[in-house]
Amino acid sequence: MNKLLCQILGLHEVESAVNLKKSSLYAMIQRGEFPAQVSLGKRKVGWRSTDVAEWIESRTSVKNGGVK
């Protein structure tokens, strides 16, 4: 993957990017199927944009039979 500028995405941004809701995301995280969030404070979490982009890319290659 190209070197990307890593940004921290909030929950709503991740939900929008992957078209999944919070409950689905957290269930997938528990099963090891989605990148874990990073803690930003006592009650704030986010996701690395590069982790989310890599997950999207991996889903695209699975859908296309493993061919990028």
* Global pTM value: 0.81
Each residue's pLDDT tens digit, 17-62: 999 999 999 999 999 999 999 999 999 999 999 999 999 999 987 6
| In the block, residue with structure tokens 């199927």 | 33
Q: Which two tokens stand for residue 28?
A: 């997938």
Question: By the 8 A CB rule, do 20 and 37 touch?
Answer: no
Q: Percentages helix, strand, coil for the chain, rounded to the nearest 5?
A: 45, 10, 40
Q: In what order do the strands lie in the sheet with 45-48?
A: 8-9, 45-48, 38-39
Q: Which two tokens stand for residue 49?
A: 């944009």
